[in-house]
């Protein structure tokens, strides 16, 4: 039997707090991670709005994937959630209430490293409830603009990510990993988001990337990496795309036991493959949580139908 993360759900022992800048708004953000009971999942609470409704980090709450991953409920949204979700998914944290006083998660250094450090300020504690894994039973696949994404049956949580950029600074890179907490910490958490200097004016014209800087983004010029410290990994670009995929696939609402493969993917395709999997009742089942049926999960916890508007062009 392949090694899996623990068989019981987890949460954090204590409340921990962090602050930073929103990469798109450029405004300060304060955020706190709070312990939560079993079966809470990952929930966002916007404390700067009158709405007290929790926004679950699930595929039925997905709002946009054009430049980051955004969830929303009744007009209240939280964006740029992918690195935080990747931290929870990668470290095996199932239940957290995230209090946040702005519309986007702070960018920190452009990776998940600061969120790993935040978790390390407290402790991951085990709850009595069993952890539910979504086991892939048969292949599902989508294709878009010359790329593809697919989920295949496997006994590990495997990610096989292949990127292909025209820029010679990136080119074609591939990364394969069987995910667990140690692998996440060592190989993925520190990989930063990246962008091209020539695209800055485009993003600014759309009111995006107003908080982007060399402190939180790997910036590529025509012939070199602009950041004076260079890259953290020779293949940091594909590692970051893998980090994003780990976060986006957390929208399934439970860890996916299977192999995820993508070529020229991104937030849109990551989210769309989750929707495609859950929409096919023959393609998956629960394992480990014997008292919870697939039907209960589909009808009581999430709706898997999304408006087409949720999937815009992926620029990041």
Contact 69, 79 (CB under 8 A): yes
Q: Given a cut of 80, is residue 3 above it in pLDDT?
A: no
Query: pLDDT digits over 157-191, tens only?
Result: 999 999 999 999 999 999 999 999 999 999 999 99
Q: Given a cut of 60, is residue 142 above it in pLDDT?
A: yes
Question: Please, what's the b/e burial string for 66-88 (b: 16 or more CB within 10 A of its CB; e: otherwise)?
Answer: bbbbbbbbeebbbbbbbbbbbbb
Average pLDDT of the chain? 90
> Tell me, what's the pLDDT at 2?
36
Q: Which of 45, 63, 267, 299 is catalytic?
A: 267
The two structure tokens encoding residue 309: 């508007």
- Higher-confidence residue of 302 and 258: namely 258
Residue 168, exposed/middle/buried by CB under 10 A (0-12, 13-18, 19+)? exposed
Contact 268, 311 (CB under 8 A): yes
Question: What is the average per-residue pLDDT within 116-143?
Answer: 97
267 classed as catalytic = yes
Query: pLDDT digits over 18-64, tens only?
Result: 999 999 899 999 999 999 999 999 999 999 999 889 999 999 999 99
Determine if residue 299 is labeled as part of a ligand binding site: no
> Tell me, what's the pLDDT at 4?
47
Residue 233's pLDDT band (cuts 50, 70, 90): very high
> Does this model's pTM top 0.85?
yes
Determine if residue 39 is labeled as part of a ligand binding site: no
Question: What is the average per-residue pLDDT within 282-287?
Answer: 97
Determine if residue 240 is labeled as part of a ligand binding site: yes
> Tell me, what's the pLDDT at 290?
36
> Tell me, what's the pLDDT at 176?
98
Q: In terms of DSSP bridges, do strands 62-64 and 140-144 run parallel, antiparallel, or are they unpaired?
A: unpaired
Query: pLDDT digits over 197-207, tens only?
Result: 999 878 878 88
Question: What is the average per-residue pLDDT within 196-224?
Answer: 90
> Tell me, what's the pLDDT at 205?
83
């Amino acid at each position: 039997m392949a090694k899996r993360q623990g068989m019981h759900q987890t949460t954090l022992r204590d409340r921990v707090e962090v602050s930073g800048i929103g990469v798109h708004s450029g405004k300060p953000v304060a955020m706190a991670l709070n312990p939560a009971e079993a079966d809470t999942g990952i929930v966002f609470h916007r404390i700067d709005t009158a709405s007290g409704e929790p926004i679950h980090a699930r595929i039925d709450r997905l709002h946009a994937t054009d430049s980051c991953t955004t969830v929303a409920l009744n007009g209240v949204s939280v964006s740029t959630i992918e690195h935080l979700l990747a931290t929870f998914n990668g470290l095996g944290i199932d239940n957290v209430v995230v209090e946040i006083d702005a519309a986007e998660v702070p960018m920190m250094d452009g990776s998940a490293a600061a969120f790993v450090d935040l978790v390390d300020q407290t402790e991951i504690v085990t709850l009595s409830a069993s952890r539910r894994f979504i086991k892939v039973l048969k292949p599902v696949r989508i294709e878009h603009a010359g790329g593809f994404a697919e989920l295949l049956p496997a006994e590990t949580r495997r990610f096989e990510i292949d990127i292909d950029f025209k820029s010679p600074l990136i080119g074609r890179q591939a990364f394969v990993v069987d995910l667990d907490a140690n692998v996440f910490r060592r190989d993925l958490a520190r990989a930063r988001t990246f962008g091209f200097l020539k695209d800055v004016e485009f993003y600014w014209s759309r009111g995006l990337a107003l908080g982007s800087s060399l402190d939180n983004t790997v910036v590529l010029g025509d012939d070199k990496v602009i950041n004076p410290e260079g890259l953290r990994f020779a293949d940091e670009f594909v590692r970051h795309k893998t980090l994003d995929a780990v976060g986006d696939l957390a929208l399934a609402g439970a860890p996916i036991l299977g192999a995820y493969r993508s070529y020229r993917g991104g937030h849109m395709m990551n989210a769309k493959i989750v929707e495609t999997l859950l929409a096919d009742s023959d393609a998956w089942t629960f394992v480990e949580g014997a008292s919870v049926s697939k039907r209960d999960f589909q009808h009581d916890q999430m709706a898997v139908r999304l408006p087409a508007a949720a999937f815009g062009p992926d620029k990041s």
